[in-house]
Structure 1
Amino acid sequence: MSAAHDSRSPEPPGEGEGVATAGARPERGGGHGPAWIARSTASAVLTVLACLLVPVALLTVWVHDIALDTDRYVSTVAPLATEPAIQDAAVHRITEAVGVRVDGPRAAADIASWLQSQGLPPRAAAALRSLGPQIDSAVDDAVTKVATRVVHSGVFATVWTDSNRIAHNAVVHALTGKGRGAVGVSDGTVTLDIGVAVERVKKELVDAGLSPAAHIPDVNKQMVLFHSDELAKLRRGAHLLDVVGDWLPVLVVLIGAGGVLLAHNRRRALARTALGAAFACLVVAIGLVVARRYYLDHLPSQVQSKAAAAAVFDTLLRFLRVSLRTAIVLGVVIALGVYLIGPGRLPVAVRGASERTADSTATWAYAHHVHTGRAGTWTQAHRRWMTLAALLVVALVFALWNHPTVLTVVLLVLVLLAVLALLALLAASGRATLDAERPSTGRPVEGPDEGPDEGPDES
């Protein structure tokens, strides 16, 4: 019997390699059949397609959340009102809009002519006319100070937020050409209507005693924030993303799941899909950095402030960048988790060390009359299903999380590790309880166990 058992002993390890070598067995069997090749090809195609579509799906989510969700859009652009670059650009544009209508030299000349008609000596009238540049400079300084006070007092922030919330279709106009709001788009130029702020500056100038400001007519009150000759193409792309945006993320998940399920080695396929999606998102993230640098280095003359354009660019794409970083971290975490449950030497060593630590802790606790009773033995019997349930719950929480971030991924990973550690301790406690109670409840079994050990001694 023992010889027969020994002759068969090399075979079970080859059969028991499980999923880790399932894809390699057909090679030892003499080649692959058409069904095997078709299945592998379909799995590879679906996996690659899912990896490529992950960043596209994130882009559709960004379009929906920024362009079609009022609260999300307002919360995204609201910080721009307090951005120093935007404030400086607004002060410059308001001062320019008001100052162009207040002509100091002409005002000085008119005053000098009127006073001369009333008897002012010509020399004094000429001296008064020479004060025109100083008057102009003083008016400009006054306008700049008032404009700065208005922009930094919170009035500008309120105007910014209210106008964007009330006229939310402005961002739809920016992407599709429909609608009009405080932020408008024309011929590839994105502008901000600062008319309310200009009127506030005019009122404060009049209240301060600068009566000519009351006669400032309506002027161009648009502040250019962004310009791109490719905006028409972006609009067409945004329309396409808007059409597929409702179902594309779900479709990507289904495609990826199909690729994994069709694979002969599903564990390895899951790791490759996760890493492939993370790499695709990394490429897009790098592309955004390059696009930002290229845009800022080639700003057209319509854009009045490079710093303001950079602030607008960064703010509008912040959510997309966060989503890409989250997808990258999530892909790496999934691949690492799949690796740690595999048959490799390091994963086996890590799992073995964890189990030994849990067993040692449970044994020590039982020796000190701390044990879990039936809860531990039940956990030991159903640990695998409880682990799968924990994984599904964490995955569901992540799927339902509103705009997850890298911090969300880290938090959920820590929660999952805590749950797995708790299950390991409960299972170890259950084993310790069974091992401690077995000698007292199963004494007849000790005879056969001790027999073989004592037999050789007696002989």
Structure 2
Amino acid sequence: MNEPPEPPAGPGRASRARRPVRSTVSAVLIALTCVLVPVSLLTVWVHDIALDTGRYVATVAPLGTDPAIQDAAVARITQAVDVRVDGPAVTSDLAAWLQAHGLPPRVASAVKALGPKLDDAVNQVVTEAATRVVHSDTFVTVWTQANRVAHTAVVQALTGHGRGAVEVTDGTVTLDLGSVVDRLKDTLVAEGLSPAERIPDVDKRMVLFQSDRLARIRGAAHALDVVGNWLPVLTVSLGAVGVLLARRRRRALVSAALGAAGASLLVALALVAARHYYLDHLPPAVQSPAAAAAVFDTLLHFLRISLRTATVLGVAVALGAYLGGAGRLPRAARGRADRAADSVARWGDAHGVRAGRAGTWTAAHRRWLAGTAVLVLALVFALWDDPTALTVLLLVAILLAVLAVLALLAAFGRAATGGPDGSVLR
């Protein structure tokens, strides 16, 4: 029995042999891109927020007027000041002196009963004074100045190095309120509460953040800082190569965009779970859960916005790539849009509205014009400072408007020269 002849070797056979390799490499690169997208956003947060003085101060400065931070500061400052007037001793001496001068015993007993109320009155005076100081511009100034060097606390929290107004010890981040306490002492003395002069030099730190796992992430934070802003560029490059190597590039682009969006969404949900876990397991060192929540939310605000933006951007890119494909649904959608544009063009032509040469030129170069619009808006997004999900939606709306204008101009061009099948539309 004769064996079938082997197919001749040639470029076509070699090309078919390389297809599985290219497809495998493409799949690996796209999967790696999906994983690296949220990691890239994390590196940007570490590099631009956690370890950058200007951005860190701009991020935490509004906390100086946050009600939760102010209430925590009032409580901690009042506790640090701790002005104590021995009310029972004072009222007892006063009652003895009055009784020695003929005061009835019942009145002397009533005077002695005022001792605890005197303590409460002093505490109320201190609290009111502390509230006025904290709610004034003084506290905002002190808070901002302290946090201008506070980025060293985050650096120390992540790398174990650095000192400043904010200190980190055993995973606990504390803010020194010494200058605010000194200002409050002067205020109390000026208002006639002379015992405030004898306030001792006690611990005046307010705990902002505490985690026993802080030391475990130092190595990872250092690595993320070293990578810095290069990882996003590498991630985009890997994704682009993966799409270019794919046999079906449009489908690969849809898969990469949806995968990146899904990975970003998972990390965003993990941050929500981490927030709930942290606030539910606050150690006793944290005096105010509300203040801890405010600090947590403020420091991670940029990261959460970035993850949300990446999710929306991924879905938008995937949807755009899908609708631009050759599937039945995309073709039907584009056909309906063109028919609607043709209807508008016929109505305009019947009423003397024409696009002239602009319409015929747009009809001949519509695909290139649409591609240019996409590239321009992609460049705008890349150069946008701190884009958000609303930025993505705004650019998508602009792109849809541009595509609608191009469709109308092309329809007017077809109305002037003839339809796709050669029939004159007007």
Are the equivalent residues in 2 in contact too, given 1:112–1:128 (CA < 8 A)?
no
Counterpart-to-counterpart distance in 1, 2:19 and 2:149: 59
Counterpart-to-counterpart distance in 2, 1:392 and 1:435: 30
Structure 1 residue aligned with 2:20: 37
Structure 2 residue aligned with 1:385: 368
User: Structure 1 counterpart of 2:390, which letter?
Assistant: L
Report the CA distance between 1:366 and its aligned residue.
Answer: 2.3
Counterpart-to-counterpart distance in 1, 2:412 and 2:170: 71
TM-score normalized with structure 2 length: 0.88
Report the CA distance between 1:152 and its aligned residue.
Answer: 1.8
Report the CA distance between 1:128 and its aligned residue.
Answer: 6.9
Are the equivalent residues in 1 in contact too, given 2:30–2:239 (CA < 8 A)?
yes
Structure 1 residue aligned with 2:410: 427
Q: How does 1:219-234 map to 2 (within 5 A)?
A: 219-234=202-217
5+ long unaligned stretches in structure 2? 1-11
Secondary structure class of the residue paired with 1:96: helix
Q: How does 1:164-179 map to 2 (within 5 A)?
A: 164-179=147-162
Structure 1 residue aligned with 2:90: 108
**Structure 2 vs 1, CA of residues 107 and 211 (structure 1 numbering), >3 Å: closer, same or farther?**
farther
Report the CA distance between 1:231 and its aligned residue.
Answer: 0.7
Kindly provide the CA deviation profile for residues 398-438 of structure 1, in whole angstroms up to 9, marking residues without a partner as x: 111111101000000011111111111111111111139xx
In structure 2, which of residues 70, 74, 78 is the aligned counterpart of residue 87 of structure 1?
Answer: 70
Q: Percent identity?
A: 64
Are the equivalent residues in 2 in contact too, given 1:112–1:126 (CA < 8 A)?
no
Report the CA distance between 1:368 and its aligned residue.
Answer: 2.3
TM-score normalized with structure 1 length: 0.82
Are the equivalent residues in 1 in contact too, given 2:257–2:318 (CA < 8 A)?
yes
Are the equivalent residues in 2 in contact too, given 1:47–1:255 (CA < 8 A)?
yes
Structure 2 residue aligned with 1:376: 359
**Structure 2 vs 1, CA of residues 104 and 430 (structure 1 numbering), >3 Å: closer, same or farther?**
same
Are the equivalent residues in 2 in contact too, given 1:108–1:135 (CA < 8 A)?
no
User: Structure 2 counterpart of 1:420, which letter?
Assistant: L
1:315 aligns with 2:298: yes
Kindly provide the CA deviation profile for residues 107-129 of structure 1, in whole angstroms up to 9, marking residues without a partner as x: 738x939x97xx88998999877
Report the CA distance between 1:363 and its aligned residue.
Answer: 2.1
Kindly provide the CA deviation profile for residues 251-291 of structure 1, in whole angstroms up to 9, marking residues without a partner as x: 00001111101111000000000000111111111111111
Q: How does 1:61-76 map to 2 (within 5 A)?
A: 61-76=44-59
Counterpart-to-counterpart distance in 1, 2:52 and 2:414: 54
Counterpart-to-counterpart distance in 2, 1:432 and 1:344: 27
Counterpart-to-counterpart distance in 2, 1:184 and 1:432: 73
Report the CA distance between 1:135 and its aligned residue.
Answer: 2.7
1:346 aligns with 2:346: no
User: Structure 2 counterpart of 1:282, which letter?
Assistant: L
Secondary structure class of the residue paired with 2:352: coil
1:249 aligns with 2:232: yes
Are the equivalent residues in 2 in contact too, given 1:112–1:125 (CA < 8 A)?
no
Counterpart-to-counterpart distance in 2, 1:112 and 1:40: 93
User: Structure 2 counterpart of 1:112, which letter?
Assistant: D
Secondary structure class of the residue paired with 2:208: strand
1:415 aligns with 2:398: yes
Counterpart-to-counterpart distance in 1, 2:112 and 2:54: 55
Counterpart-to-counterpart distance in 2, 1:126 and 1:219: 36
Secondary structure class of the residue paired with 1:398: helix
Q: How many pairs align?
A: 406
User: Structure 1 counterpart of 2:86, which letter?
Assistant: G
Are the equivalent residues in 1 in contact too, given 2:152–2:166 (CA < 8 A)?
no
In structure 1, which of residues 186, 205, 209 is the aligned counterpart of residue 188 of structure 2?
Answer: 205
Are the equivalent residues in 1 in contact too, given 2:53–2:149 (CA < 8 A)?
no
User: Structure 1 counterpart of 2:333, which letter?
Assistant: V
Are the equivalent residues in 2 in contact too, given 1:164–1:181 (CA < 8 A)?
no
Counterpart-to-counterpart distance in 1, 2:176 and 2:364: 68
CA RMSD in angstroms, aligned pairs only: 2.7
Are the equivalent residues in 2 in contact too, given 1:170–1:181 (CA < 8 A)?
yes
Structure 1 residue aligned with 2:247: 264
Counterpart-to-counterpart distance in 1, 2:89 and 2:247: 87
**Structure 2 vs 1, CA of residues 263 and 291 (structure 1 numbering), >3 Å: closer, same or farther?**
same
Secondary structure class of the residue paired with 2:418: helix
**Structure 2 vs 1, CA of residues 121 and 235 (structure 1 numbering), >3 Å: closer, same or farther?**
farther
In structure 1, which of residues 254, 274, 291 is the aligned counterpart of residue 274 of structure 2?
Answer: 291
Structure 2 residue aligned with 1:190: 173
Counterpart-to-counterpart distance in 2, 1:240 and 1:384: 44
Are the equivalent residues in 2 in contact too, given 1:108–1:131 (CA < 8 A)?
no
Counterpart-to-counterpart distance in 2, 1:232 and 1:143: 38
1:325 aligns with 2:298: no
User: Structure 2 counterpart of 1:204, which letter?
Assistant: T
Structure 1 residue aligned with 2:5: none
User: Structure 2 counterpart of 1:327, which letter?
Assistant: A
1:403 aligns with 2:389: no
**Structure 2 vs 1, CA of residues 120 and 254 (structure 1 numbering), >3 Å: closer, same or farther?**
farther
Counterpart-to-counterpart distance in 1, 2:25 and 2:86: 77
Kindly provide the CA deviation profile for residues 145-182 of structure 1, in whole angstroms up to 9, marking residues without a partner as x: 11111112232222212221255433323322332233
Structure 1 residue aligned with 2:135: 152
**Structure 2 vs 1, CA of residues 107 and 395 (structure 1 numbering), >3 Å: closer, same or farther?**
farther
Which of the two has higher C-alpha Rg?
Answer: 1
User: Structure 1 counterpart of 2:248, which letter?
Assistant: N
**Structure 2 vs 1, CA of residues 141 and 377 (structure 1 numbering), >3 Å: closer, same or farther?**
same
User: Structure 1 counterpart of 2:93, which letter?
Assistant: A
Counterpart-to-counterpart distance in 2, 1:244 and 1:287: 23
User: Structure 2 counterpart of 1:108, which letter?
Assistant: V
My pick for the range that moved more, 405-414 or 308-317, is 308-317
Counterpart-to-counterpart distance in 2, 1:249 and 1:345: 35
Are the equivalent residues in 2 in contact too, given 1:47–1:260 (CA < 8 A)?
yes
User: Structure 2 counterpart of 1:43, which letter?
Assistant: S
Counterpart-to-counterpart distance in 1, 2:218 and 2:70: 28
Structure 2 residue aligned with 1:237: 220
Counterpart-to-counterpart distance in 2, 1:120 and 1:267: 101
